[in-house]
Structure 1
Amino acid sequence: MDRIAAIKGREILNAKGRPTVEAQLITERGIRVTASVPSGTSRGKYEAFELYDGETRHNGRGARKAAENISTEICRALAGMDVADQEAIDRTLCRLDGTPDKHRLGGNALLAASVAAAKAGAASTNQPVYRYLGQKDIRPALPDILATVIAGGVFSTSGMEFEDYMAVFHGFSSFPKELDALCELRFSLEKALRGRYGDFPEDGGALAAPCASSREAFRWILDTAESLGYAGNVSLGLDVAASELWEPDRGVYRMGEDRCLSTSQMISYYRGLCGEFPLTLIEDGLDQDDFNGFAELSGALPGVQIVGDDLFATNPERLRKGIEHRSANAVLLKINQIGTVTEAIKTARTASEHGMDVIVSLRSGETADDFIADLAVAVGARQIKLGSPVRMERNVKYNRLLEIWQELGM
């Protein structure tokens, strides 16, 4: 047994230049690990609370209070605990905070400590993290890739109505070949779009090209895949982020200045897209509170992955409600939505036990921590959503998956 000797927090910057927290955990036998947590730009209302300072620094979004909570209350609570007892550590963290959404100490503070403990626990047992956290009777396998290649939505300058236009990769003989295909597609797509539109910004590595419509964006992705010989291995995915479009007072989704759609009209719109394109995945197609609407959407599009992100918020209780309503057939797993490793794994296992796909995802405000690559393998995720391979906070995770592939001899 190796016990936690100390855990220290500090404020660092994420990929968007905004503060987040990092935890360094030290065990009595001298193991030292660090863990840093991301933050999201588009956040559902059921996510764990991110604690910020509220001062003038960084427009109130400094993270020194959360870092201090790691170094003080969290350190005192975890000191002396067996570093390999992840469930006990995470129970202690949740009880210490004592709030449903982890707002007292901050979900960001709790998650940094939880991930650090998982890394140290793996090191103390001489295992890679994916084996340490995985089910012992299941052979690890690598997930397929989802990648946002064209950006839209309310947080983008492109003017596109939806948030993420994704390439969905499948059917490759190995993970390295799949990653090669992503890299080729991303760079070829950029060349084609810049040839058509000239200069435009990127958004987290995705191309914020001012396409005229979702249909045009889809055609660019498919034409590029076909030109590279990947037509049979690339389909389309769409992250709608529909809660950003929902106007509850009017009961409509605003799709532009002069266009509003009801729930049934949105479902008809998706049905039309799926009939016209190989659209095999729709994430957050309706508002985060509309479990019944999601069930209707799932029934209308058999064979399409209907993914709950804000709908479930990586929360086991919300997932169980979704299972009762048959709202979706896939769950997006974002560990900072729930705040501890144990709760995230519980969500993943509950989904798998009910025949749902698990998709592990990064956040827009990522860090250079590669933990979720191991987590995706540990929970048997069907897919992983890491974005375009042009930024190092994404590529450290792709590179870790390559390393795992080599370790597994696949």
Structure 2
Amino acid sequence: MFKIKKIIGRQVFDARGNPTVEADVFIEDNIMGRSTVPSGTSVGQYEAFELRDVFSEAYGKKGVSKAVYNINTIISDALVGCNFSNQIELDNTLLKIDGSYNKANLGANAILAVSLASAKAFAKKVNKPLFQYIAQEFSNYEQKNNINNKYIQIDLSDNKNFMLDNTDLESRVITTPMFNIINGGQHADNMLDIQEFMIVPVGGKDITEKLKMANEITNSLKQILINKELGVNVGDEGGFAPRIQKTNQALDILKEAIKSAGYNDKVRIAIDVAASEFWKNKKYSFEGEELDSIEMIDFYCFLIEKYPEIMSIEDPFADQDIIGWQLATKALGNKVLLVGDDLFVTNVNKIYEGLEYKIGNSILIKPNQIGTLSETIAAIQMAYNNKYIPIISHRSGETEDTTIAHLAVAVSALYIKTGALCRGERVAKYNELLRIDEYLSIQNK
């Protein structure tokens, strides 16, 4: 049992200098867990509600004093003094306190901060790294322990396709990062419509080599941009934001950097289109043209043919363009990862809809899209059980919190997105993966 002794919420700042929520949760023996939650730029319309002080001019209407107040009053009053036998029990209590379908009463940012801080405290109590706590905590729950508020009905007891039992953890970190080294769209002040151009070092033998490859390709890219006088300013996620306008320009430069670094056969490319950001009146305002769904499909088919290095396309269509998604899945679903972010928003109900429509084949997992650790795990399990690939992801407004690195290892995720190998809030996750890999290698000798 874990007894909550004290909860403290506070306003701190994310990597963009905007306010965000941090929570400290104290349990017996003065054990404390702390979590600082991120926020997104391109936000899916079905994401859990992020509570901001929109009626106050302070911080450009982006303050989080109300969310912090909710932690220090409503949540604290309800949880302090209570005993919890597991994470799901605590998260269910948070869901019950809020009582809304999208966490609009307390704020998903307030709820997630407490959920993750509690998980860190509980892990310390049982003397385990966070990734092992997550893996064990969710491996073999009875049905009575399921997430059970009226909006969510998820069975976490079926573990046959889901590697959460600690005995099944890999002996080393298997996660491959998708490094976002060219930023566009909402993440950069340039003319690129596509939001992220990523390198994926699939040929690296371990996380150390994968990071080495990313470092060398990034340095190569920087020199190419300098030589071409395209600028080396960086965007929200640490990637370069060069003065280019066209997708093919970005891909050509990326290929040149990969080749120059000597990794032609070991690196693939992933892109995040974030198509919801330029979809209006059932048209896509893309690279100076107004395109319909069929024309966008033609564009993606052309890209994959010209650039066979592309292995993943995220949000190729708007979350409301179901026909576009169906066409893409039929045309491209056996060629590349079709990753739903705005489409699925880490929400089991939206994932279920996607399964019904038979769209996509991969799901981006962002804990702050849904608001508790338990619901995040439920989304991952649904992905695995339906042969979708879960990709653990950060947000553009990140913090130094490293929970997602532990989550990726705990669920044996094949891929993680956490930005470029640049900026402290991004590098923190990569450094944590190195530490976890070192820990696992020692434990498994």
TM normalised by structure 2 equals 0.89
Q: Give the stretch that moved more between structures: 338-347 or 132-141.
A: 132-141
Matched pairs, number? 407
From the superposition, tell whether residues 349 and 220 of structure 1 become closer, same or farther in structure 2 (CA, over 3 Å): same
Structure 2 residue 234 is matched with structure 1 residue 233: no
CA contact (8 A) 2:33 2:119 kept: no
Number of the residue aligned with 1:265? 295
How many Å separate the matches in 2 of 1:155 and 1:384?
A: 18
Number of the residue aligned with 1:188? 220
Number of the residue aligned with 2:352? 320
Runs of 5+ unmatched residues, structure 1: none
CA contact (8 A) 1:83 1:121 kept: no
How many Å separate the matches in 1 of 2:404 and 2:412?
A: 12
Deviation at 1:181, TM superposition (A): 0.6
Deviation at 1:198, TM superposition (A): 4.7
Number of the residue aligned with 1:291? 322
Picking from 285, 289, 293, the partner of 1:254 is 285
Deviation at 1:84, TM superposition (A): 5.2
Structure 2 residue 343 is matched with structure 1 residue 304: no
Name the aligned partner's letter for residue 243 of structure 2.
P
Q: Deviations over 1:339-394 (max 9, x none)?
A: 00000000001101111111111001111111110011112211000111111101
* Identical amino acids, percent of aligned pairs: 37
Deviation at 1:338, TM superposition (A): 0.3
Number of the residue aligned with 2:373? 341
Number of the residue aligned with 2:66? 65
Deviation at 1:200, TM superposition (A): 4.8
How many Å separate the matches in 1 of 2:434 and 2:406?
A: 11
How many Å separate the matches in 2 of 1:81 and 1:406?
A: 36
CA contact (8 A) 1:84 1:121 kept: no
Q: Deviations over 1:306-333 (max 9, x none)?
A: 0000000000110111112221110000
Where do residues 39-50 of structure 1 align in structure 2 (5 Å cutoff)? 39-50=39-50
Question: What CA RMSD, in Å, does the superposition of the two structures yield over aligned residues?
Answer: 1.3
Deviation at 1:223, TM superposition (A): 1.4
- State the secondary structure of the residue aligned to 1:102: coil
From the superposition, tell whether residues 152 and 198 of structure 1 become closer, same or farther in structure 2 (CA, over 3 Å): closer
Deviation at 1:245, TM superposition (A): 1.0
Q: Deviations over 1:244-268 (max 9, x none)?
A: 11112xx2101144x1110011011
Number of the residue aligned with 1:10? 10
Q: Give the stretch that moved more between structures: 196-205 or 274-283.
A: 196-205
How many Å separate the matches in 1 of 2:369 and 2:400?
A: 18
Where do residues 7-406 of structure 1 align in structure 2 (5 Å cutoff)? 7-54=7-54, 55-82=56-83, 85-134=86-135, 135-136=164-165, 137-140=167-170, 141-204=173-236, 205-248=238-281, 251-257=282-288, 259-277=289-307, 278-301=309-332, 302-406=334-438
How many Å separate the matches in 2 of 1:234 and 1:38?
A: 29
Name the aligned partner's letter for residue 341 of structure 1.
L
CA contact (8 A) 1:66 1:108 kept: yes
Deviation at 1:172, TM superposition (A): 1.3
Number of the residue aligned with 2:158? none
Runs of 5+ unmatched residues, structure 2: 136-163
Name the aligned partner's letter for residue 44 of structure 1.
G
How many Å separate the matches in 2 of 1:93 and 1:199?
A: 47
How many Å separate the matches in 1 of 2:128 and 2:438?
A: 15
Q: Deviations over 1:262-307 (max 9, x none)?
A: 0011011101100010211000000112234212202211220000
- State the secondary structure of the residue aligned to 1:202: coil
TM normalised by structure 1 equals 0.96
Instruction: Give 4+ residue runs of structure 1 displaced > 6 Å after superposition.
Output: none
CA contact (8 A) 2:193 2:245 kept: no
Name the aligned partner's letter for residue 285 of structure 1.
P
How many Å separate the matches in 2 of 1:281 and 1:338?
A: 23
Deviation at 1:154, TM superposition (A): 4.1
